[in-house]
Amino acid sequence: MKRFLLLMLILLSSSSHATVEDQGGGMSFSEVGISPGPSEPDLPGFIPSPCYGPSNCLSVAVSQAGSGGAKEKGYLTQGKSLEFLISVKNEGSQEVTAILGISSQKCPLDWFSWLEESLVIPAGGTRSMSLLVSSDTDAAAGSYDFTVDATSSCCKSNSGRGVFKVQALDYASETAISGTGQFRLNKNVRSMNSGVKSTKDIRFSGSVDALVKNEYLVDGSKGKNPNFEAQDAVDNYNAVYPGDSLVGAESFKSSAVFGGVGAKLQESSTSPGST
């Protein structure tokens, strides 16, 4: 009886460490229960942003370049340019690379010398850059505005706003001559509102690559824009026949009584050219 009980205990004890063999000659396992390998940690479904929300650490200011008050500088004439100064202040505690962008609901975007630029700004520092606004020659007279924004990593800005007015030309005359032959040009421009009087008498015979005589008038021009502007140029004039010449007589007067600057100019020139 004791032998029977001892045999049973031995059998029960050895059954918990039984060996399993693959009769097909394959891999053998010394344990019946196979524990799983090391598990990989679960990864989050998103990568958290280093910023919990962009802060207003950039400040943008738009001002007109040059000396004088804003009322004097806020005007430009059709086809002319106006310079602005864009300043960005970094009010944060770290250096940033600020991306500047231009937007406007009124101005064509090709009026601006740039639409996007970058500035490296140290903590607590301010950096500035120039922006040139050039209106079309046929731009409608009136008021225009644009907005400048700046952004960087974990940082945004308030919007800077620029404002200007376009003045329309009251008179424009453009003359360009090229070739060989004879030509006479006589111009007489007068404006009582601006006190401007301009006369030109040009006689030409021979050959020329370019002869340019342009005049522009803005009555009551504001800002630093002239009431009257003349553009003259002669390129490569030559006499073709004996007696050919380029002769000109011009005079200009801006009467202070009628709101002009009180200037007076008179000149004449003769160019026999070369054959």
Which secondary-structure segment (H or E) carries 3?
helix 2-15
Contact 83, 66 (CB under 8 A): yes
- The β-bridge relationship of strands 171-191 and 160-167 is unpaired
Q: pLDDT (tens digit, 9 = 90+) per residue, 227-248?
A: 778 888 888 988 888 888 888 7
Which secondary-structure segment (H or E) carries 72?
helix 70-73
Q: Is 20 domain-assigned?
A: no
3-state secondary structure (DSSP) of residue 9: helix
Instruction: Say which residue, 88 or 189, is predicted with more confidence.
Output: 88
Q: 136 and 99, same structural domain?
A: yes
Rounded Cα–Cα distance for residues 235 and 208 (Å): 7
Nearest CA to 80 out of 260, 196, 221 is that of 221
Domain boundary among 111, 137, 167: 167
Confidence of residue 88 (pLDDT cuts 50, 70, 90): very high
Domain boundary among 167, 189, 224: 167
- Give percent above pLDDT 90 in the chain: 31
Rounded Cα–Cα distance for residues 85 and 65 (Å): 6
Q: Evaluate if residue 38 carries a pLDDT over 80.
A: no
Domain span at 235: 171-271
Q: Evaluate if residue 261 carries a pLDDT over 60.
A: no
Phi, psi at residue 229, to the nearest 5°?
A: -140, 135
Q: 162 and 79, same structural domain?
A: yes
Q: 244 and 177, same structural domain?
A: yes
Rounded Cα–Cα distance for residues 232 and 174 (Å): 10
Q: 211 and 141, same structural domain?
A: no
Rounded Cα–Cα distance for residues 128 and 132 (Å): 13
Q: 189 and 117, same structural domain?
A: no
Contact 245, 275 (CB under 8 A): no
Q: pLDDT (tens digit, 9 = 90+) per residue, 179-234?
A: 898 888 887 877 766 667 778 888 888 898 988 888 888 887 887 787 778 888 88
Q: pLDDT (tens digit, 9 = 90+) per residue, 71-82?
A: 667 899 998 999
| DSSP classification of residue 29 | B
Query: What CATH number should be reported for the domain holding residue 69?
Result: 2.60.40.10
Q: What is the mean pLDDT of the chain?
A: 77
221 conformational bin, left if phi > 0, alpha if psi -120 to 50, beta if neither: beta
Please report the pLDDT score of residue 264 as a whole number: 46
User: Which burial class, exposed, middle or buried, applies to 166 when counting CB atoms under 10 A from its CB (0-12, 13-18, 19+)?
Assistant: buried
Q: Is 15 domain-assigned?
A: no
Q: 206 and 156, same structural domain?
A: no
Q: Give the tokens for residue 40.
A: 């990989």
Please indicate, yes or no, whether the overall pTM of this predicted structure exceeds 0.75: no
Contact 265, 251 (CB under 8 A): yes
Contact 223, 74 (CB under 8 A): yes
Q: 183 and 160, same structural domain?
A: no
Domain boundary among 119, 142, 167: 167
Q: Give the tokens for residue 270.
A: 């003769």
Q: Is 129 domain-assigned?
A: yes
Q: 157 and 94, same structural domain?
A: yes
Q: 197 and 152, same structural domain?
A: no
Instruction: Say which residue, 28 or 99, is predicted with more confidence.
Output: 99
Q: Evaluate if residue 151 carries a pLDDT over 70.
A: yes
Domain count, the chain: 2
